[in-house]
């Protein structure tokens, strides 16, 4: 096992070539056995539908080093299930859940030296992806597919951790009303590159996307899900067919209800009613929880109650979630899968 020389506290969210990645090929109607390879490049047909028609989907999850030295995967079955839905939407063959979790396990075990130590706050980010390959230039599903999982160590996605961050309501849409917003596909991300750059150019961390039909309701915060805490202590997350159903969002709603005893609502979140919320945040595997300090919407800048400090409910949710992920707090049944 290699022992890379990594300065754990300064880790951000950047690609780093690790030792081994998993690769499996679907051909003639079936997946092969899959292998670990040291090669971090792919050799695919120039006519691959992943390149021309965006036939690809991906996932993101993390492995966490616990205090006792063991390693947790957080709810990998949920990522496997979501990849099934994404692949079905894009006519790609499903990766069986057992294969998906086994591939993640193998990749973590093969790169243990890159797993940030307990207490640094870092984790090993896993990136499973599925792409259409083979010779095909017609707008039709690819004849072959690749499923791969690679990994790299990460710190917090938005630098500053639990520091409130400002976002701007985007003038663009990331998805269409009956489009692919609920699937974790590259096309949604391609559509978000320009809005993201514009938002950062204006001094914001990222753009907030409204519902593509009426442009009145909050859907996503960059590539993370929105949640808010109402002034009377309810935890609210948007309901919409075009948001990406995040594992973090689902977990936070469960923890808010079952562990913190709070009322939870999935409902419309009107962008002109942000005053209803005492706290708000963005959540996702990469971002974990990023408190939202303020939201620029046209000429108005809405400031949340605690612009400079994380709110109390957000803090409790963060502690409960990360406590479970790092094995310090008892996990709900089936949430953590031991790799080691
Ligand atoms: C991946 C993703 C999220 C967060 O999902 P998690 O499962 O919590 O990581 C939120 N929004 C978008 C658009 C995403 O792609």
- Using alpha carbons, select from 116, 126, 112, 104 the residue that is nearest to residue 2: 112
What share of the chain has pLDDT > 70, as a percent? 96
Residue 34 domain-assigned? yes
Of 154, 181, 207, which one is at a domain's C-terminal end? 154
Distance from C-alpha of 292 to C-alpha of 33, rounded to nearest angstrom? 44
Is the distance from the beta carbon of residue 224 to the nearest atom of ligand 1 less than 6 Å?
A: yes
Distance 276 CA to ligand 1 centre (A): 24
Are residue 32 and residue 143 in the same domain, yes or no?
Answer: yes
Of 114, 131, 154, which one is at a domain's C-terminal end? 154
Is the distance from the beta carbon of residue 220 to the nearest atom of ligand 1 less than 6 Å?
A: yes
Give the number of other Cβ atoms within 10 Å of residue 205's Cβ: 22
Are residue 143 and residue 188 in the same domain, yes or no?
Answer: no
Distance 331 CA to ligand 1 centre (A): 21
4-50 pLDDT tens trace: 789 988 898 999 999 999 999 999 999 999 999 999 999 999 999 99
**Based on the structure, what is the number of domains in the chain?**
2
User: What pLDDT band is residue 162 in, cutting at 50, 70 and 90?
Assistant: confident
Residue 335 domain-assigned? no
Are residue 177 and residue 317 in the same domain, yes or no?
Answer: yes
Are residue 125 and residue 208 in the same domain, yes or no?
Answer: no
* Residue 320 lies in domain: 165-325
Are residue 121 and residue 199 in the same domain, yes or no?
Answer: no
Residue 340 domain-assigned? no
Is the distance from the beta carbon of residue 223 to the nearest atom of ligand 1 less than 6 Å?
A: yes
Residue 331 domain-assigned? no
Residue 203 domain-assigned? yes
Distance 197 CA to ligand 1 centre (A): 19
Distance from C-alpha of 208 to C-alpha of 214, rounded to nearest angstrom? 15
Work out which ligand 1 atom sits closest to the CA atom of 184: 15
Which CATH number goes with the domain that contains 214?
A: 3.20.10.10
The confidence score (pLDDT) of residue 10 equals 87
Distance from C-alpha of 251 to C-alpha of 271, rounded to nearest angstrom? 24
Are residue 61 and residue 194 in the same domain, yes or no?
Answer: no
Mean pLDDT score, 260-265: 98
Of 124, 154, 184, which one is at a domain's C-terminal end? 154
310-337 pLDDT tens trace: 899 999 999 999 999 999 999 999 999 9
Which CATH number goes with the domain that contains 20?
A: 3.30.470.10
- Using alpha carbons, select from 3, 4, 1, 44 the residue that is nearest to residue 23: 44
User: What pLDDT band is residue 161 in, cutting at 50, 70 and 90?
Assistant: low
Are residue 174 and residue 314 in the same domain, yes or no?
Answer: yes
234-252 pLDDT tens trace: 999 999 999 999 999 999 9
Active site residues: 184
- Using alpha carbons, select from 285, 24, 27, 43 the residue that is nearest to residue 129: 24
Residue 96 domain-assigned? yes
Residue 156 neighbours by CB under 8 Å, 6+ apart: 12, 13, 121, 287, 288
Judge contact between 305 and 279, C-beta under 8 A: yes
Mean pLDDT score, 280-299: 94
């Amino acid at each position: 096992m290699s022992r890379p020389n990594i300065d754990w506290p300064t880790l951000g969210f950047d690609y780093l070539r690790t030792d081994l990645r998993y690769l499996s090929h679907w051909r003639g109607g079936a997946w092969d056995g899959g292998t670990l390879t040291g090669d971090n490049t792919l050799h695919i047909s120039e006519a691959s539908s992943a390149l021309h028609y965006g036939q690809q989907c991906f996932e993101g999850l993390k492995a966490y080093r616990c205090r006792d030295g063991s390693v947790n995967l957080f709810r990998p079955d949920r990522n496997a299930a979501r990849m099934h839905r994404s692949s079905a939407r894009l006519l790609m063959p499903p990766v069986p859940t057992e294969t998906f979790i086994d591939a993640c396990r193998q990749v973590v075990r093969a790169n243990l030296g890159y797993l940030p130590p307990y207490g640094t706050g870092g984790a090993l980010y896993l990136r499973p992806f599925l792409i259409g390959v083979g010779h095909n230039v017609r707008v039709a599903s690819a004849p072959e597919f690749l499923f791969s999982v690679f990994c790299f160590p990460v710190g917090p996605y938005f630098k500053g951790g639990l520091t409130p961050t400002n976002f701007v309501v985007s003038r663009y849409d990331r998805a269409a009303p009956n489009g692919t917003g609920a699937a974790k596909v590259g096309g949604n991300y391609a559509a978000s590159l320009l809005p993201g750059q514009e938002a950062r150019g204006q001094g914001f961390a990222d753009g907030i996307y409204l519902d593509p039909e009426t442009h009145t309701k909050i859907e996503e915060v960059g590539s993370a899900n929105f949640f808010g805490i109402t002034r009377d202590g309810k935890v609210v997350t948007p309901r919409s067919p075009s948001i990406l159903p995040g594992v973090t969002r689902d977990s936070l709603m469960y923890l808010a209800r079952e562990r913190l005893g709070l009322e939870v609502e999935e409902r419309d979140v009107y962008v002109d009613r942000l005053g209803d919320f005492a706290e708000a945040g963005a959540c996702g595997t990469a971002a974990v929880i990023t408190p939202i300090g303020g939201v620029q919407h046209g000429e108005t800048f809405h400031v949340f109650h605690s612009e400079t400090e994380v709110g109390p409910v957000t803090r409790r949710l963060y502690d409960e979630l990360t406590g479970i992920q790092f094995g310090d707090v008892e996990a709900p049944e089936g949430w953590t899968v031991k790799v080691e």
